Amino acid sequence: MPTYSEKVMDHFANPRNVGEIEDADGVGSEGNPVCGDMMEFYIKVDDGLLTDVKYKTFGCGAAIACSSMVSEMAKGKTLEEAKGITNRDVAAELEGLPKNKLHCSNLGADALHKAIEDYESKAREG
């Protein structure tokens, strides 16, 4: 098993904001079970603010910790601010990830961005 930072282990053992939002304004997923990691993000948006961010994650310790960290970083932010969160920022907030996990497990920001895109395309149509 890889050696994870204390921060990663904390978010893995006590994931924040985990779950689903039934009437989500946007949903986005990234990854797939074949490569070992998959995340689905749900967002609530009010007046351009992310009032709630939840997720479900299939994957290793790093994948779960990344999802948790992204949800914490994004909650309460404006859509524009949330779009600016990168996978690199997430890894940095987690005090680093093992090298071989940087790409495959660190999909949280991508999944969040997809949820925002989903919200925005619905808003345009709606």
Partner 1 sequence: MRDVYFDYGATTPPRPEVVEAMLPYLKEQFGNPLSLHRYGEAPREAVEEAREKVAQLIGARSNEIYFTASGSEANNMAVKGIGLMNQKRGKHLVVSAVEHLSVINAAQTMEKLGFEVTKVPVDKHGVVDPADVEKALRDDTTLVSIMHANSEIGSIQPVGEIAQVVKERSKAYFHTDAVATAGNLPVDVKELGVNLLSLAGNQFYGPKGAGALYIKRGTRIMPLIDGGVQEAGRRAGTENVPAIAGLGVAAELATADMEERRAQLVPLRDRLIGRITSEIDRIYLTGHPTQRLPGHVSVVVEYIEGEAMLLLLSMQGVAASSGSTCTSRALKASHVLTALDIEPGLANGSLLLTLGRDSSVEDVDYFMEVFPPIVDRLRQMSPLYKEA
In a 13 Å sphere around the CA of 94, the CA atoms on its Cβ side amount to 35
Element holding 53 (H helix, E strand)? strand 49-58
Site membership for partner 1, residue 61 (CB under 8 A):
yes
Question: How far is residue 27's CA from residue 41's CA, in Å, rounded to a whole number?
Answer: 6
Cβ distance to partner 1 smaller for residue 44 or 49: 44
Site membership for partner 1, residue 56 (CB under 8 A):
yes
Given 2, 13, 35, 84, the catalytic residue: 35
Q: If binding means CB under 8 A, how many residues of this protein chain bind partner 1?
A: 31
Q: Which of 24, 50, 64, 66 binds partner 1 (CB under 8 A)?
A: 64
Residue 52's contacts (CB-CB under 8 Å, 6 or more residues apart) are 17, 21, 42, 43, 44, 75
Q: Among this protein's residues, is 66 annotated catalytic?
A: no
Cβ distance to partner 1 smaller for residue 12 or 119: 12
Cβ distance to partner 1 smaller for residue 101 or 113: 101
Q: Among this protein's residues, is 104 annotated catalytic?
A: yes
Site membership for partner 1, residue 37 (CB under 8 A):
yes
Site membership for partner 1, residue 28 (CB under 8 A):
no
**CA torsion 11→92→44→104, rounded to 10°?**
-80
Cβ distance to partner 1 smaller for residue 26 or 59: 59
Q: One-letter amino acid identity for 82? A: A
